[in-house]
Amino acid sequence: MDNKANTQEPYMVFTPPAVPTQKTDMDGLTYDFNLGLRVNVPKGNYRVVFIDRDTHLTVYNAPISGAMATSSKRYFVNFRLEVWENPTEEEKKQQTGKIEPKLIFAHDYNAKGKKVLMKFAGRALGDMLAWFPYAEVFRQKHQCELYVQVDEKYTAILKPAYPDIHFIKGDKLPENLYASYHIGLFAPWDDRNLQPMDWRVVGLQAHAAYMLGLPPKEERVKLLPSKKAKKFQSKEPYVCIATQATAQSKYWNNANGWIYIIDYLKKQGYRVLCVDRDKITVNGIYGNAIPYGAEDFTGNRSLQERIDLISGAKFFIGLPSGLSWLAWGCNVPVVMIVGFTAPGTEFYTPYRVQQFHTCHSCGNDQRNEHNYDDFGACPHHRGTEREYECTRCISPEYVQSVIDRLRKDLNI
């Protein structure tokens, strides 16, 4: 057997405490909200009830003895837990009339002052920056002691702006963990136990908000330039661009596009700095390179260096990819050139560039289950003359007109 074929890192590892962490006055009765509502009940004649307090729905009601019951929903639900003790047969014989079950324990979700963990899936920069601000909204709402697990390369850029959140490494869990939530895009995307909504319908940010029981209101991630930012920033006015992406369908596939825009910007007196990580990428038959005329600021720079550089730009031009989210978090105006996703998928920018005369928004088509390993995917027109027409048909003149509008709006 070839073990190399199975070395791909899992998207998310679910690691709740082995047993519920919250003790009660009753021996053997413990509960918590780690990977759903969990309750461990000793042997006896008991019944467990789970109630969604927001919708007033009883979602679980079953007898239990010497076992653990867990909710099927693993995202945030404002649960009430009830444990009832049923009368024994002996008690029934001794009493005349009906004997009602007795409520011996009840608990309403309340994370105030308690330890809560959020684990964010994957290494995708855009996903992380879309979801992370809801961690702080959750912390403030519930007044909890919040711990987060993110890919370590993101800790350095997030920690300065979120001093009240504890960033932890590895899979070691805080002691006495009251609740934990796992934030990600869980395939199949119509799974309703790990996520309440399909991100293709509600967008990336609202996806995380629904998972955490928060209003699906846009929240901008906070990214702060460092004290060294000035040395990365030019005294001359400049624009940052990012032309690379994680799938060919996300690129601006107009052959003249970037060259035209770079030439135009230079004539307006701007330097044009390409801040992608890679100068050239090759994925199977697909090759993409830094566009002619852009200054090369690619390479193995830290994300903080990119924040420092982008923060000084007059504006940013990019794709539906991570560096556009990074620029947005720096409060820099973003021109986003898009074909693959529908409006509302990413953050709102008045300078979104998208045309609807051709096929578009296949990333939000619920008939498709996106394969991240297929870099060249074009679900509706692959291998035909219409391949990638969503961005091929975005003309450079259209992008120029949006840039002109931005400059007029901002008087730059």
Picking from 99, 85, 91, the residue whose alpha carbon sits closest to that of residue 48 is 85
Q: How far apart are CA 352 and CA 346, in angstroms?
A: 10
Structure tokens at 371: 């394969």
Picking from 346, 354, 353, 347, the residue whose alpha carbon sits closest to that of residue 331 is 347
DSSP letter for each residue of 132-200: THHHHHHHHHHT-EEEEE--HHHHHHHGGG-TTSEE--TTPPPTTEEEEEEES--SSTT-SSS-SS-HH
Close Cβ partners of 218 (under 8 Å, ≥ 6 residues apart): 205, 347, 348
Q: How far apart are CA 209 and CA 190, in angstroms?
A: 17
Structure tokens at 134: 């809801």
Q: Can you say whether the dihedral through the CA atoms of 93, 99, 104, 105 is positive or negative?
A: positive
Contact 303, 330 (CB under 8 A): no
Q: Which residues participate in catalysis according to the annotation?
A: 127
CB atoms within 10 A of CB 330: 24
Close Cβ partners of 163 (under 8 Å, ≥ 6 residues apart): none
Distance of CA 276 to the CA centre of its chain: 21
Contact 55, 78 (CB under 8 A): no
Q: How far apart are CA 258 and CA 262, in angstroms?
A: 6
* Inter-residue long-range contacts of 344-349, CB under 8 Å, 24+ positions, other chains counted: 344/202, 344/203, 345/199, 345/200, 345/203, 345/204, 345/320, 346/126, 346/130, 346/203, 346/204, 346/320, 347/130, 347/205, 347/218, 347/220, 348/218
Structure tokens at 156: 């350095």
CB atoms within 10 A of CB 100: 9
Name the residue type at position 345.
Answer: T
CB atoms within 10 A of CB 135: 25
